[in-house]
């Protein structure tokens, strides 16, 4: 039997991957072939074809797309932190206290809608346009401080490197979008199309902005994949007849995104090959290397169930000093190195998040040091360097299955940490620092 006969349901996807490989191998001018970059690209595309062929036999394809339309705030940029900071300061001046929960009402809205909600909810005496003109300069001052969300740079680089057309479609005015992305190297030139809320009659949830993006890309709406963090954005994408991946920027919201074709926890969990796009190739031994980050402090009491309920002790850190850092990092299972100044440096696997199985109300850090200690070490200074990602947090049908999964995570982390790319962090002075 021919290989293609075994996989009829994936013919479209194969054709796409094959065309990509074929295009870069045979349709290049001789000049192109002289450049190493083009040959590399051809090899990359052939490798994609191989992965697609392999996947074709094992995993179902969701839907074939040929371009990606990205939202900006909350999807690529960690804008929520800045919004909260600005509103906290602004409302404070008027004797009001910013309540973080209000964020839910403004995520994905146009600036006008968001300002209207704030004026109403806080009973402000100013008009919406007065509020906007006061807030505008406060926001503009902060744009240089908005960080890229984990996985955003990786995604943009990956798609543009594989010549997958990408567009940016945001409810923000075009000028603001341009300024915000100017602080992120390589972003502006990666987008074939950038379209702002002021360039269409109605913003999301109207489909107009996505339809206009598709038109400018010269691609059928049904061949577009939208990536969005907000409900209005997901609604807009579906109304435009597009495939939509939701990456909710607010916690515990996944259940609201039923209209999305897929809901993922963070951009780190995106698998482009599910949509017929080139797969990421940076996963290694079931782990994804990330830009390393550090967190530390005295070990505090947790929920008292790590050792007792699971047989897995986790040395909890206070999240007080680190709320900004924690909100930047998606929940999930990570690993790295842990330093206790008087005891040494140990391999470590941890979860960050709300422990869906126990449905916590607080985002916690739960590092399990992969070493047998004779005693507890509450109060001791614990320093962590987080170097890689394993998986999103999940719920489980039973305690046994949660425990089994955590032991799998342990094995993955233990093996991966011997790779030079991860083991080199073991000698970082931060791990031995006792302050």
Binding site residues, Mg ion, CB under 5 A: 302, 306, 314, 316
* Active-site pick, 48, 73, 228, 261: 73
> Binding string to ligand RBF for residues 366 to 405, with x set by CB under 6 A, is what?
x-x------------------------xx-------x---
C-beta separation of 394 from 332 below 8 A = no
Helix (H) or strand (E) holding 138: helix 128-142
Q: Which 310-329 residues touch ligand RBF, going by CB under 6 A?
A: 310, 312, 314
* Contacting residue, 71, 261, 409, 428, with ligand RBF by CB under 6 A: 409
Examine residue 356 and tell whether it contacts ligand RBF (CB under 6 A).
Answer: yes
Count of residues that interact with ligand ADP, criterion CB under 6 A: 20
Window of 12-20, 300-308, 355-363, 395-403 that interacts with ligand ADP by CB under 6 A:
300-308
* Contacting residue, 95, 201, 301, 420, with ligand ADP by CB under 6 A: 301
Q: Which tokens in the block code for residue 405?
A: 């999964």
Could you give the angle at the alpha carbon of 174 between the alpha carbons of 168 and 175, nearest 5°? Answer: 130
Catalytic: 427?
Answer: no
Minimum distance from CB of 382 to ligand ADP (Å)? 8
φ/ψ region of 383 (left if φ > 0, alpha if ψ in -120 to 50, else beta) reads beta
* Active-site pick, 48, 208, 228, 366: 366
Q: Which does 251 bind (CB under 5 to 8 A by kind): Mg ion, ligand RBF, ligand ADP, none?
A: none
* Active-site pick, 71, 229, 269, 409: 71
Q: Which does 358 bind (CB under 5 to 8 A by kind): ligand ADP, Mg ion, ligand RBF, none?
A: ligand RBF
- Report the sign of the C-alpha dihedral through residues 277, 283, 286, 288, in that order: negative
Decide whether 241 or 306 has the Cβ nearer to Mg ion: 306
Examine residue 425 and tell whether it contacts ligand ADP (CB under 6 A).
Answer: no
Examine residue 356 and tell whether it contacts ligand ADP (CB under 6 A).
Answer: no
Q: Which neighbouring-strand residues pair with 262? A: 245
Dist. CA 383–CA 221, nearest whole Å: 49
CA 359 centroid distance within chain: 21
C-beta separation of 235 from 253 below 8 A = no
Catalytic: 374?
Answer: no
Decide whether 18 or 396 has the Cβ nearer to Mg ion: 396
Could you give the angle at the alpha carbon of 166 between the alpha carbons of 165 and 170, nearest 5°? Answer: 155
Examine residue 48 and tell whether it contacts ligand RBF (CB under 6 A).
Answer: no
Examine residue 290 and tell whether it contacts ligand ADP (CB under 6 A).
Answer: no
Instruction: Check whether the bond before 205 is cis (ω within 30° of 0).
Output: yes
Q: Which does 297 bind (CB under 5 to 8 A by kind): ligand RBF, Mg ion, ligand ADP, none?
A: none
Examine residue 316 and tell whether it contacts ligand ADP (CB under 6 A).
Answer: yes
Examine residue 21 and tell whether it contacts ligand RBF (CB under 6 A).
Answer: no
First CA to last CA distance, the chain: 66
> Phi, psi (5° rounding) for residue 303?
-85, 0
> Phi, psi (5° rounding) for residue 145?
-100, 0
Longest Cα separation, the chain: 75
CA 269 centroid distance within chain: 7
Burial of 144 (0-12, 13-18, 19+ CB in 10 A): exposed
C-beta separation of 232 from 206 below 8 A = no
Catalytic: 198?
Answer: no
Examine residue 283 and tell whether it contacts ligand ADP (CB under 6 A).
Answer: no
Minimum distance from CB of 365 to Mg ion (Å)? 9
Q: Point out which residues bind ligand RBF (CB under 6 A).
A: 302-303, 305-306, 310, 312, 314, 333, 349-351, 355-358, 366, 368, 393-394, 402, 406, 409
Q: Point out which residues bind ligand ADP (CB under 6 A).
A: 299, 301-308, 313-316, 368-369, 371, 373, 376-378
Q: Which residues are catalytic?
A: 71, 73, 366
């Amino acid at each position: 039997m021919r290989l293609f006969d075994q996989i009829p349901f994936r013919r479209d996807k194969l054709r796409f991957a094959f065309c990509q490989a074929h295009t870069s191998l045979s349709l290049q001018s001789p000049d192109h072939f002289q450049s190493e970059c083009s040959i590399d690209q051809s090899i990359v595309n052939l490798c994609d074809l191989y992965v697609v062929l392999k996947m074709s036999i094992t995993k179902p394809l969701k839907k074939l797309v040929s371009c990606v339309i990205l939202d900006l705030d909350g999807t690529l940029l960690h804008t929520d932190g800045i919004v909260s900071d600005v509103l906290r300061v602004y409302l404070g001046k008027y004797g009001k206290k910013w309540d973080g929960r209000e964020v839910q009402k403004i995520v994905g809205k146009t600036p006008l809608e968001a300002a209207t909600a704030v004026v109403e909810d806080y009973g402000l005496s100013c008009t919406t346009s007065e509020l906007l003109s006061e807030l505008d300069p406060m926001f503009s001052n902060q744009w240089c401080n908005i960080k890229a969300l984990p996985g955003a740079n990786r995604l943009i680089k990956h798609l543009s490197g594989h010549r997958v057309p990408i567009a940016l479609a945001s409810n923000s005015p075009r000028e603001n979008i341009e300024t915000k992305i100017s602080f992120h190297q390589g972003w502006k030139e990666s987008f074939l199309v950038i379209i702002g809320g002021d360039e269409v009659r109605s913003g999301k949830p109207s489909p107009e902005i996505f339809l206009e993006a598709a038109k400018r890309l010269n691609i059928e709406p049904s061949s577009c994949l939208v990536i969005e963090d907000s409900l209005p954005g997901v609604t807009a994408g579906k109304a435009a007849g597009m495939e939509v991946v939701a990456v909710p920027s607010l916690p515990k919201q996944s259940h609201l995104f039923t209209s999305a074709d897929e809901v993922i926890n963070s951009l780190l969990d995106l698998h482009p090959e599910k949509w017929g796009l080139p797969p990421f190739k940076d996963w290694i031994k079931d782990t994804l290397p990330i830009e390393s980050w550090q967190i530390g402090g005295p070990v505090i009491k947790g929920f008292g169930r790590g050792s007792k309920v699971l047989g897995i002790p986790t040395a909890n850190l206070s999240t007080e000093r680190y709320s900004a850092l924690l909100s930047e990092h998606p929940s999930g299972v990570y690993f790295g190195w842990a330093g206790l100044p008087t005891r040494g440096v140990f391999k470590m696997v941890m979860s960050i998040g709300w422990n869906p199985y126990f449905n916590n109300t607080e985002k916690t850090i739960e590092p399990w040091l992969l070493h047998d200690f004779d005693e507890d070490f509450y109060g001791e200074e614990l320093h962590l360097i987080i170097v890689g990602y394993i998986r999103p947090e999940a719920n489980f049908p039973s305690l046994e299955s949660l425990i089994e999964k955590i032991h799998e995570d342990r094995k993955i982390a233990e093996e991966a940490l011997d790779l030079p790319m991860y083991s080199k962090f073991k000698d970082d002075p931060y791990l031995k620092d006792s302050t």
